[in-house]
Amino acid sequence: MSDFAARLTDGVRRHGPLCVGIDPHPGMVPALFGGDTAKGLEYWGRALVEAAAGKVAVIKPQVGFFERLGPGGMTALAAITRAAREAGLLVLMDAKRGDIGSTAEGYAEAYLSPGAFFEADALTVNPYMGLDTLEPFAKRAETGGKGLVVLVRTSNPGAADFQMLETGGKPLYMHLAEALRPLTDRLMSPCDWSNLMMVVGATAPEEARRIRAAAPKALFLVPGYGAQGAGADAACAGLVGGEGGVVSASRSVIFPKAADGARTRNDWQAAIEVAIMSARSELKAAALA
């Protein structure tokens, strides 16, 4: 079985770099599917999987929106994850875990262990407690062909509070990108990209180029495109020849205005598919420009 980097690279070559974020914001799941309930999230999420399958390579569920509904919400997350993987989609679980070794091992087992209830293809992790906290996830990536997605330069305005602080003549995020080189090399795939992925926000294209120069083989996960304000050109600044990562879009493709008044599931799905194909086309063109 091929590893995460190889599967993602193949999918991006076929479909382009769009990654569909599944973010069930409170009050935004259509009543058509049951609204803001555990079952509503499950039915809606599975319908999104159906709309995305064959059009994109990757989906990215945001775990926090499921956790808020307790056990039912987490059961919905597991069902959506299984449906996505069965449909041939890669699942990049956005949970931003990060803790000391023994606790990190628990998180790694929950999300990256074969057959786990929440098994995904890759998991976002926070490295700011130190590189040793990444080791349990790195081991799963090595032995199970999984992906390790490390926060480096995020897209939120508050990223400047710490990530941009200068020390030793360069910002903290660059120190991190450079410190990740050994792990990037260790997790290299035969496809010539690493199973280590870096989160690099679309709202900072010049910084993305700087990180790309320091990390030529790391995949990028690029949030911030669409509803957060970044355009396709900025979002694709760190990609290389149309590959090297994915660009995440959530609200712009899962809550398009055209879907607001949908009375039937078919009408809703048609609006979602149009939004996905529009973003896909825009990103493919920008990535190859």
Is 60 one of the annotated active-site residues of the chain? no
Q: Which of 96, 139, 170, 257 is catalytic?
A: 96
- 172, 147 Cβ separation under 8 angstroms: no
CA atoms of 223 and 238, how far apart (whole Å): 12
Catalytic residues: 96
